[in-house]
Structure 1
């Protein structure tokens, strides 16, 4: 079956917003429901809470199917973005917060009372057990309700999940305790485990705090997970602000402003200097330097003229353009990037997926074993019904996945908290899982390894007047990024200042004007030839050498003679080389992936000590490059900061966005470094690995505990009280093991 996202963007695909999903199993359940519809191919992105459906004639069928499965749904409105799903998530977060607060406030006194009074009969007072029941009812009945709803869905869909196990554990502990309060405790086995003898009459009420404690811990994990998961967001929402809402098009020979959604292929769009190009197209008139940083990561604008292609979201810095539209809406390059990122996010595996797959088998087995034990003890071993029921309940309680359910969310919460204190945000389990297997780290250049701010690197003085001062005087009228770099370099040199007049911007070439009544120019060699300035062999050789070294070169001339030349570069961050060295010290391969030229890319790589370079790579090609590396068997981390990195960040096994990055890049990343320190990339990987190791230890303990304890319970050697205590101790081990991450 062809996956929906493998088809071209702009087909009959329909996006459906889905609310109420609580885990990866829910996303698979919705996906399974949709794919059961005739002729439908669907996939569900758990992070963005959205389903993409292909091959359906009526979207209402998809909505109805999702709602029948127990979830909220509606056809996605592109104009509204993710507002609907965001509101639904906020409602869910508010509900979880209220339940968590109530559960915590009732569980703390309940645990104190039940533990003390259940084990010390002398402290009991009339009705103490019913007081415990009253404290537990709101927790087990109301606070835990979301778990029961999810568990019921799993029963209907025949896909047992973590919520199924959690619900069984909570209800088994509660109803066993309630039964002992109403009917009295069953007789104790004469050979009870640990030799504690008969449990004091009424002591089984201790299970009430087990039921309440499990509920509280699970609500806390679900609450923080839901808040964290929503931050993954929708890349399309962040991209929406990059293109203007209105476009100026030619209709019947006259310019008309229309909403960008109304622009058609083959329309002519007029773009003024400084404006953002709203759609993809081909230049049919005019020339300009176009800032393509959003699409290529290239810090120096690119010259475009007639017949050159331009992308929506890029900016014409210094010239007017007439662009014939070739793609609009979902077919634009910018939208393609968003679609690639969205697809890659949805395809990421999570630790919960493994746990859910295991529990889908584990839950039915445990239930079957508990029922079998009742029959064996009651029929084959001729035990009383109460004794047989006690063994069955002991099996259910000892098999309750409290530790299993806490293993991942507690470690994740502690890891996230530790990361925040270090300026590192971990978005979810996918980042932790990926970090443990990373062997290759791919870096974007502009804004990641470099500052992203052009500066004058070298001044080659040839004439008797300051080349820098003349260049700064001419560039004052330009909005080009190079002009700002020249102005910054000339600041504070009032003794060398010049005044220019009659300045004319030459799009893509440079600037001309007059100084002291004499013609002046600053720009490329092509501009020099156009204004009749001869470049001698020595200056030409100097410029060629700098260009080959990855520098941008501009020549300065006055009155027909060259005054010299300036080189510009995007400086490497001070800590970039040390970070690359640290990563390679961790036996990780590093690679530079950039939209810049070969010369510039190799110059930066050489300065940083990186052996592998891929230059001239466009955004969609960046994602393809990451996919190629993964196809070669590499486990790839991508570090970037720009919109052009969004798809690659999402495609990589681990996406890391640096602090200066755009909102799109951050939404696509798994880890976000929010402090101005590239060394945090190394720390982020180390923290993720430590958190993942903790989760693995927790899971091994949780599974091992169940495997070892269930046979003991089946043999009748565990009183349900001891089962509850052992289950609580197992959960405490998981919690304290997770808290070690704080150090």
Structure 2
């Protein structure tokens, strides 16, 4: 548990600016969230504290954002309430160790195994074989639970797993044999089942009881309260039977209801934890790509040092077959690099002097010297990991609806159960002259069991979290609720040109100089050298490849989207769009025909002026991505309207648009104008997605209903995007949208199914004719249907997920390291 004495004094929150005037905001990371009702419990408990203004809880990312008045309440008091209602906390500024998550899963797995053994035993104690229908329920429980138990135990080995599964079944077999042989009589059956019920409630699942108590004493009627009310109602019903007041009373079945209800809740908790842990495996894969050491080159000597000791500007040697240890730029050598584990692109990519390398990629046959450009938290992999873990997910609209319904649903179920109980007691007494206690108790407990709401609570999150894990496996990170709900409704996609539709690796193709061509290129390279813009790097690389001496520049100033200003040997230099130089009073007439000719063939033209006089123009070309035409075609086939938005000239934009099949073009616009374009396209309620390279497109990415950052490069602005395409493949955008549509469709199906079973089951239970165990069976069918629907009809997904996580505890890992 996180809440020991040592950690209570530790700051387990992160401070952020609040949008509410005069208020502060903290962000807390919470362990133990299972369904939407958990979020409602937290929002109610915290929202009732004096000084707390606003609480937003994200189930998928296990965090709470709390806006509060620092004059009235302190963060420690807020978090103390979270601990009181039964939730653990961990530092939101740090990645939660995956070992901790897997240890939690192992602990919950052990709890589930005990609950399964108790449930099977309880079923055996009440089982009356009288035909196929009488064995259908126990058979279905065995078919579902025993394979799950085997899968949980499988990391210990197949033999141990098989023996463990048999050990779970054994008590049930012995109990059934004891009943059939007369060793366990009917009175004893009630007592044994009662002991099982108490053992499960107080021994196996005391955490549920604790959370129910903390919620109830604050007047919060949540799913834990409803579960415990149902469980204790079953115990009360069983105790009534033990007194012998009523003949032929189903004592053992009442106790069995308690066991099965608690077991199913534990099963739901474990499944939810399994899916969330499974979805985080994509992050672990990224973390494991980063090597532990690097070959640092100092004074001509190579030294192997921990990556943590590498700094920006250091030089490292990457040998053939090595995994690239850090992000950097090649300064010597030529090689091919396998980026498939980072981007999903299986084709090796050539890298030479001036090219960027991503840490985690695999070097090919060449040996290269790399200048380190980013380390630690700034590296590409660290960015992806941090934002997967730390993303602030917004709940989709359907979740808001479910939360609102559930907050009145639980007290409604309790009221209906009480009315059914009292109604049959009073009604039967009024009609027949004596109360029908048995039927009244059946009605009350039946309603509580039929109304158990965790099926609804997990319906939407389970579909969303599963989709997030699937997307991550495809190299797609879906960060927010908009990614899951809104993306599927997008009608227009705005595409940036450079780095999105094109390779993003422009090269110098032609040079038109008024004087010396090499002097022109060297001057342009000197001015552009401090810039990280792809066009700037292309000009610098071209000068380096020609062996030119690049002068030192001073007073560098970048004019976003237009060009740069600099001073070289005291002379003012302008490099940028022809229109930019024209606005600065530079006469472009000497080369206006050349500019037109180059732009007509799709070139991006950069003009150079020194001391107010035009020196020449440099034409750069960028190849169309091989997947761009197919991606745009698929967009059109899916009914999506593609729009090209670029800061480049109109002729170059038209050339690219014609090649890929885009008809609507907005060229020559600045980054802030792209955001205005998105707003314009959103008029009338249209859903718009923006795809960009994440550098200059941040305003538009944030404005769009869904912002999509292409992550094939090393400068993705994942802060601004709802979806990050880590894989360097434009068609992944359509895969992400299909995932969004599938997820939202599955969410709606799950919610509908959950309410359908509850809507039918509760009225039926009020009749008092529904046997308690059958009420539980009906509810189990509802939740099982939702899980099956969420798994897409592929049960193997569940067992693959079980086998992929929770393999070792932290202690096991330590033992392995000692070996």
So what's the TM-score if we normalise by structure 1? 0.64
Counterpart CA distance in 2 for 1:571 and 1:646 is 24
| 1:221 matched residue in structure 2 | 272
Q: Which residue of 421, 443, 454 maps to 1:374?
A: 421
Q: Which residue of 166, 173, 178 maps to 1:124?
A: 178
| 1:103 matched residue in structure 2 | 111
| 1:485 matched residue in structure 2 | 538
- Which secondary structure does the structure 1 equivalent of 2:494 belong to? strand
| Alignment coverage as a number of residue pairs | 589
Q: 1:144 to 1:660 in 2, by over 3 A?
A: farther
The CA deviation at 1:229 is: 9.4
The CA deviation at 1:551 is: 3.9
- Which secondary structure does the structure 2 equivalent of 1:451 belong to? coil
The CA deviation at 1:583 is: 1.8
Deviation string 1:420-440 (CA, Å, 9 cap, x unpaired) is 443334446553222343323
The CA deviation at 1:161 is: 4.6
Counterpart CA distance in 1 for 2:671 and 2:62 is 21
| 2:235 matched residue in structure 1 | 175
1:231/1:427 contact within 8 Å kept: no
The CA deviation at 1:740 is: 1.8
Q: 1:28 to 1:483 in 2, by over 3 A?
A: same
Instruction: List runs of 5+ in structure 1 lacking aligned partners.
Output: 74-81, 190-198, 233-273, 275-341, 492-496, 514-520
Deviation string 1:115-168 (CA, Å, 9 cap, x unpaired) is 344314853354777676666666544665555565556546656555555555
2:522/2:551 contact within 8 Å kept: no
- Which secondary structure does the structure 1 equivalent of 2:729 belong to? coil
Q: 1:540 to 1:413 in 2, by over 3 A?
A: closer
1:439/1:636 contact within 8 Å kept: yes
| 2:121 matched residue in structure 1 | 113
2:30/2:64 contact within 8 Å kept: no
1:119/1:203 contact within 8 Å kept: no
| 2:437 matched residue in structure 1 | 385
The CA deviation at 1:545 is: 4.3
Counterpart CA distance in 2 for 1:131 and 1:358 is 39
The CA deviation at 1:716 is: 2.1
| 2:311 matched residue in structure 1 | none
| 2:408 matched residue in structure 1 | 361
Point out the more displaced range, 385-394 or 367-376. 385-394
Q: Which residue of 696, 699, 717 maps to 2:769?
A: 717
1:398/1:706 contact within 8 Å kept: yes
Q: 1:41 to 1:106 in 2, by over 3 A?
A: closer
Q: 1:30 to 1:737 in 2, by over 3 A?
A: closer
Q: 1:66 to 1:688 in 2, by over 3 A?
A: same
Q: 1:611 to 1:721 in 2, by over 3 A?
A: same
Counterpart CA distance in 2 for 1:184 and 1:647 is 74
Q: Which residue of 675, 692, 700 maps to 2:727?
A: 675
Q: Which residue of 476, 485, 501 maps to 1:449?
A: 501
Deviation string 1:214-239 (CA, Å, 9 cap, x unpaired) is 2222333156448869999xxxxxxx
Q: 1:143 to 1:681 in 2, by over 3 A?
A: farther
The CA deviation at 1:703 is: 0.7
The CA deviation at 1:411 is: 2.9
Counterpart CA distance in 2 for 1:618 and 1:176 is 71
1:397/1:727 contact within 8 Å kept: yes
- Which secondary structure does the structure 1 equivalent of 2:485 belong to? helix
Deviation string 1:39-67 (CA, Å, 9 cap, x unpaired) is 9854546458454647x362645653564
Whether 2:712 is the aligned partner of 1:660: answer: yes
The CA deviation at 1:396 is: 1.1
2:522/2:550 contact within 8 Å kept: no
Taking only aligned residues, the RMSD between alpha carbons, in angstroms, comes to 5.3
Q: 1:658 to 1:132 in 2, by over 3 A?
A: farther
Instruction: List runs of 5+ in structure 2 lacking aligned partners.
Output: 1-16, 130-175, 284-327, 329-388, 430-434, 557-563, 798-819
Counterpart CA distance in 1 for 2:669 and 2:772 is 63
Q: Which residue of 25, 28, 38 maps to 1:18?
A: 28
Task: Report matched runs for 1:62-141 at 5 Å.
Answer: 64=77, 67-68=80-81, 83-84=91-92, 86=94, 93=101, 96-120=104-128, 123-124=177-178, 126=184, 140-141=201-202
Task: Report matched runs for 1:224-263 at 5 Å.
Answer: 224-225=275-276
So what's the TM-score if we normalise by structure 2? 0.58
- Which secondary structure does the structure 1 equivalent of 2:467 belong to? helix
Q: Which residue of 449, 452, 457 maps to 1:405?
A: 457
1:228/1:427 contact within 8 Å kept: no
